[in-house]
Structure 1
Amino acid sequence: MANIMDLSTEDKLEYHFFPVSSGSVQFKVRTPNDAHIALTMGPQESDPMIEVFLGGWGNTKSVIRRNRTKPEKVEIETPNILNGGEFRGFWIRWDSGIISAGREGEAIPFLSWADPEPFPIAFVGVCTGWGATGTWKIEVPPSAPVAAPLYAAPPGYPGYPGVTPAFNAPPQGLAGIGNWVDASAGQIPPGAVVGGQDCNGEPLYVARAQHEGALIPGKLCASHGCAFVPWGGQEHGKPEYQVLVGGPNNWVRTNGSNVPPGAFPGGQSEDGEPLFVGRVNHEGSLTTGKVQQSHGVCYISFAGQELGFPDYEVLMP
């Protein structure tokens, strides 16, 4: 079952980015015109970048554009493809440089283009503009056959100095286990797993740190020079921390104490209770934190506080 992410976009052509680990995204959007989708390597507008404009030019045309530069790579008449009063469903796929877009329930795309210089797509952004606001329901696949190549661990990386096996890791041989790598002062080890993004679009990496006898999953925000973990109602900055490297990026939506069997272990409380890696959408961010099953919530650190959410996503191997 896919994870559904709800987003609202303003009339200002400003992309909201989220990480993806598969080669497609499906969504429903309710907007009168100009639903824009960006495919990028990072959570911001930067080259290389592919954009798919649905219902542009007054809801008359749809196009594919590369690197924000005309002429369009593909342009097709699509009158009334969008509707401000109802959700319309679409999918976008990328495979070996072939970008395609189609309507929900239709296997054949109405837009398709082969990029002669393909790049690893790890983020999708959505926005609206030209007089339109939008409401989106985005399906993020709960698993992916291949991890996003941009964040794959380099060959032989488990031998990297400072690597420790995942806490209570499943038996060796299970794919996507990953390692926890010592780091400090905002360092991002190669192959670090992106778990979300901050309000300003900066990627947040899956991290953990020691605090008050606990080993707590949280978030690494590199520009702040530390990881942050939630504990005791507050957000705690940690200049020394561990980052998940080469691990899974498979998030499953759940709630309360319903942690799926085999959830990826991230640490333990000061009382020895296992803590899992979770994430939630909050105030325009997708923030990673700790799932404490006995409390029935995912805790994140945000704006100096520890906040608990009964609905969350949990990281699975």
Structure 2
Amino acid sequence: MPDASLVTSINFTFECMAVKDCQVIFSRWNDHTQKYQVYFGAYSNTRSLINNNAAHVVDIQTPDIVSGTEFRKFWIRVNGNTIHAGNGNEDTPAIMSYTDPGAARTYSHVSVATCCNDYGYWKIHSHSQFHEYPNGAYTVP
């Protein structure tokens, strides 16, 4: 988040170009018990996942959802302990949803990554305060 303040709701839209594993992590600084990981194109671009503190809570078949040759658009909505994720325009139905039975969470950080020595290219639409550095990293001014 812009000033690392804690929030309960996040609307995150982006495009990713990678052969597999477009991963977004929502977390709270210095508290690894409050973390969601959303993967589009996991398992060699055959599945998509939502992890709750590293445990798979949603695992669906999504063959070829990401591409190594073109940007594909995705969106994620986090509201406390509920998360929805989808591809395409933001008004399309979610392809994955999960509600944690525990208490509502708060977040201070959003991270993006790819896996296993593969390159990933990102366009972050929902957070214009991110600035890209030549190595592909983003930071907030």
TM-score range, shorter chain: 0.7 to 0.9
Equivalent residues of 1:92, 1:101 under 8 A apart: yes
Structure 1 residues 135 and 66, CA, compared in 2 at 3 Å: closer, same or farther?
A: same
Please list, as runs of the form range in 1=range in 2, the aligned pairs for 1:59-78 lying within 5 A after superposition.
59-68=45-54, 70=55, 72-78=56-62
Equivalent residues of 1:103, 1:109 under 8 A apart: yes
- TM-score norm. by structure 2 comes to 0.81
Equivalent residues of 1:48, 1:119 under 8 A apart: yes
Equivalent residues of 1:281, 1:287 under 8 A apart: no
1:104 Cα deviation from its structure 2 partner: 2.2
Pairing partner for 2:39 from 50, 53, 62: 53
Pairing partner for 1:122 from 75, 87, 108: 108
- Pairwise CA RMSD: 2.7
Any runs of at least 4 consecutive aligned residues in structure 1 with deviations exceeding 6 A, and if so which?
Answer: none
- Amino acid of the residue matched to residue 78 of structure 1? T
Which whole-Å CA distance do the structure 2 matches of 1:26 and 1:90 have between them?
6
Bigger radius of gyration, 1 or 2?
A: 1
Structure 1 residues 285 and 36, CA, compared in 2 at 3 Å: closer, same or farther?
A: closer
Q: Residues 28-70 of structure 1: CA distance to partner in whole angstroms, max 9, x if unpaired?
A: 000010111101112x7822111011101110001111112x3
5+ long unaligned stretches in structure 2: none
Identity of counterpart residues, as a percentage?
Answer: 27
Which whole-Å CA distance do the structure 2 matches of 1:287 and 1:103 have between them?
25
- Amino acid of the residue matched to residue 65 of structure 1? N
Q: Residues 95-128 of structure 1: CA distance to partner in whole angstroms, max 9, x if unpaired?
A: 1411010112142100100012231122111110
Q: Which residue matches 1:217?
A: none
Of 23-32 and 100-109, more deviation after overlay is shown by: 100-109
1:130 Cα deviation from its structure 2 partner: 2.8
5+ long unaligned stretches in structure 1: 1-16, 143-250, 252-278, 289-317
Alignment size in residue pairs: 134
Structure 1 residues 56 and 45, CA, compared in 2 at 3 Å: closer, same or farther?
A: farther
Tell which has more relative contact order, 1 or 2 (C-alpha 8 A, sep 6+): 2
Q: Residues 260-316 of structure 1: CA distance to partner in whole angstroms, max 9, x if unpaired?
A: xxxxxxxxxxxxxxxxxxx9555746364xxxxxxxxxxxxxxxxxxxxxxxxxxxx
The yes-or-no answer on 1:132 pairing with 2:118 is yes
Structure 1 residues 281 and 63, CA, compared in 2 at 3 Å: closer, same or farther?
A: closer
The yes-or-no answer on 1:82 pairing with 2:69 is no
Which whole-Å CA distance do the structure 2 matches of 1:40 and 1:77 have between them?
25
